[in-house]
A and B are shown apart, each in its own frame.
Chain A
Amino acid sequence: MPDYNTMELMICTASRELEDGATVGVGTGAPCAAAMLAQKVHSPNLVILFEAGGIAPLIPEMPISVGDSRTTWKAISASGMCEIMETACRGMLDYTFLGGAQIDMYGNLNSTRVGTDHQKPKVRFPGSGGANDFASFCWRMMVMTPQDSKRFVEKVSYITSPGWLSGGDSRAKSGLPLGAGPYKIITNMAVMDFEPESKRMRIIAINPGYSVKDVQDNCGFELLKADKISENHAPTEEELHVLRDVIDPYRYVIGR
């Protein structure tokens, strides 16, 4: 079995979710690496979109910004914010990958602040960017993040981007487009989905070398467990080769 690190494992797992011909809205870093990997290994017709306007580029190397030159390399269109988000709102974007400082059991994400005084926050983060928009519109929202009870919290300090809100049918009632929402959460230890009725986070697969207990011990709320929990497979030689030698040769994302 090839040797690999946590980031490589999460990126490879995430890339396998992106089927050929699908559309995915991504940011810089790991999400972009996962989309590029999918495009180069098994989904050559994957359509990658960036919030700043790039549509269907054949990205040659890791962009440093979702608006830099690489995001429109051999693209079919260099558009703008409204074109991308309107396309998503129309129902044309299948997937997105988002992140944040905190996530709760319904997949709500915080990338805005810690502390209670909004005008003088204890810690300020960038805010939504395009995350609230992608989370509202894309059919299936996914998150890649390390399994850590400081990140997986009972209650996020602030909901920047919507998950299933307070569970059940709360998202459907909110006015957000019907049928879209969090789909899978990919960590270094496991893959989670959301139980269809309660919309609570649920373990469905465990990564090599970890147990259900490890996952629960590193989560700030009680996780549901699927009836059958499968074992997630490790990155293949081919995935690692493409990721290390083609996509991220300077190891900006996957580390050294």
Chain B
Amino acid sequence: MDVIEEGIGDIFTDPDADKARAFFRGKSRKMESKVMSVKDAVEKFVHDGDYLTIGGFGANRVPIAVCHEILRQGRKKMGFAGHTSTHDFQILCAGEVFDRCDAAYIIGLEARGLSPNARRYMESGKVKVSEWSNYALAVRFKAAAAGVSFYPARNLMGTDTFKYGGGKIIECPFTQTKYVVLPALYPDVSAIHVHEADIYGNCRTKGITVADFDVARASKRLIITCEKLISNDEIRRDPSSTVIPYWCVDAVCEVPYGSYPGNMLGEYFSDEEHLKEWLKVETDPEALKVFLEKNIYGCKDHFEYILKNGGMAKMQMLRQKEMMFIGAR
């Protein structure tokens, strides 16, 4: 098939479906307990140089404990999928964790504003950037999840988002219509926060799935953090609620309030005051250092981070904010 036009951006991961199949052939199918601490999960499954994807939507159902632990363990030179990334991106930039990035949505925290530190980092020249859109990256995960090396789409064409990305334009063999084809993205490691999981890694989420259905299946290694562990009997009682099957999963970490300071549907709302503080301290690099020492580097785990930011009283307030909102109208 002839390539009509191609982007000049890098493709940071290998889209070869047979190489991926060979990897997945060796992945365990054993139903065994994968329960461990976030510290152990990051030590075992996140390495320097790996390509990383974070599930959820920026500050909604995000695995914050894993993001913080990656900083604490000083991971560097990673690749990152900047797909719907907001607060997760902000944290990883604070640790200068990655040096190459597939950019679809980065730097911003939506209506809250832009992260000054993430912006500095992305303007520094330290990070190689390839451009995509949110859907383009979702399509790349979808191709990988389907075990094929590319998928066609109808976006990007005619724009600089195409030019600075790694897609190619081809002609449909049936209709002669132009399509952009996007290479499969198999992350080395991903982390997804869910509402419930059993000890083997069968997962349930409530609300929007964003791209997590495909990210979970596309990833070579997957760390799950969950609000709470549930029994395998409960999973089997209602199999239609399973969003991620256990064989995708390498680690299961029970982290209540694991999306804090982000939102978790039906559980707790985002801590807007704390997110505002993050944005504010970033205007002063010295203040940011102190802030990171307090909230990340000086914390043993996610519980300690929560304790330093209002503890259970704060969590109850955020639960009420979410519930009152849900019950109020």
Judging by beta carbons under 8 Å apart, are B213 and A72 in contact? no
Segment among A145-153, A174-182, A192-200 that sits at the interface with chain B: A174-182
Judging by beta carbons under 8 Å apart, are B133 and A133 in contact? yes
- What is the CB-to-nearest-CB distance from B318 to chain A, in angstroms, rounded to a whole number? 11
Q: Is A60 an interface residue (CB 8 A)?
A: yes
Judging by beta carbons under 8 Å apart, are B179 and A175 in contact? yes
List B100-122 residues whose CB lies under 8 Å from chain A: 103-108, 110-112, 114, 119, 122
- Return chain B residues, CB-CB under 8 Å to A131: 133
- Return chain B residues, CB-CB under 8 Å to A165: 158-159
Judging by beta carbons under 8 Å apart, are B84 and A132 in contact? no
Contact of B263 among A29, A65, A125 (CB under 8 A): A65
Number of A-B contacts (CB under 8 A): 209
- What is the CB-to-nearest-CB distance from A184 to chain B, in angstroms, rounded to a whole number? 21
List A12-54 residues whose CB lies under 8 Å from chain B: 27-29, 51-54
Contact A120/B158 with A126-B107, A127-B103, A129-B104 known, Cβ cut-off 8 Å? no
Q: Is A70 an interface residue (CB 8 A)?
A: yes
Q: Is B177 an interface residue (CB 8 A)?
A: yes
Q: Is B69 an interface residue (CB 8 A)?
A: no
- Return chain A residues, CB-CB under 8 Å to B136: 128, 132-133
Q: Which residue of A lies closest to B214 (CB)?
A: A82
Q: Which residue of A lies closest to B264 (CB)?
A: A69
Judging by beta carbons under 8 Å apart, are A161 and B60 in contact? no
A226 to B313, CA, bound (A): 60
Judging by beta carbons under 8 Å apart, are A128 and B133 in contact? yes
Q: Is B142 an interface residue (CB 8 A)?
A: yes
A162 to B128, CA, bound (A): 24
Judging by beta carbons under 8 Å apart, are B158 and A128 in contact? no
Judging by beta carbons under 8 Å apart, are A175 and B263 in contact? no
- What is the CB-to-nearest-CB distance from A159 to chain B, in angstroms, rounded to a whole number? 4
Q: Which residue of B lies closest to A108 (CB)?
A: B159
Segment among B30-38, B191-199, B202-210, B230-238 that sits at the interface with chain A: B202-210
Q: Is A68 an interface residue (CB 8 A)?
A: yes
The 0/1 profile, CB within 8 Å of B marked 1, for residues 157-176 of chain A is 01111100100001100111
Contact A130/B209 with A64-B110, A137-B155, A162-B158 known, Cβ cut-off 8 Å? no
Q: Which residue of B lies closest to A253 (CB)?
A: B111
Contact A69/B263 with A81-B135, A125-B107 known, Cβ cut-off 8 Å? yes
List A180-194 residues whose CB lies under 8 Å from chain B: none
- Most A CB atoms within 10 A — which of B179, B208, B209, B270? B208
- Return chain A residues, CB-CB under 8 Å to B107: 124-127
- Return chain A residues, CB-CB under 8 Å to B57: 52, 65-67
Q: Which residue of B lies closest to A74 (CB)?
A: B329
A124 to B82, CA, bound (A): 14
The 0/1 profile, CB within 8 Å of A marked 1, for residues 160-184 of chain B is 1100100001000000011110000
Judging by beta carbons under 8 Å apart, are B272 and A64 in contact? yes
- Return chain A residues, CB-CB under 8 Å to B86: 65
Task: Beyond the given A60-B329, A65-B60, A125-B107, please list 9 additional residue pairs across the A-B interface where CB-CB is below 8 A.
Answer: A65-B263, A68-B263, A68-B270, A127-B82, A127-B131, A127-B133, A162-B157, A162-B158, A175-B158
* Between-chain CB contacts (< 8 Å), 9 pairs: A67-B208, A69-B269, A70-B325, A81-B138, A112-B160, A122-B123, A130-B134, A136-B156, A137-B155
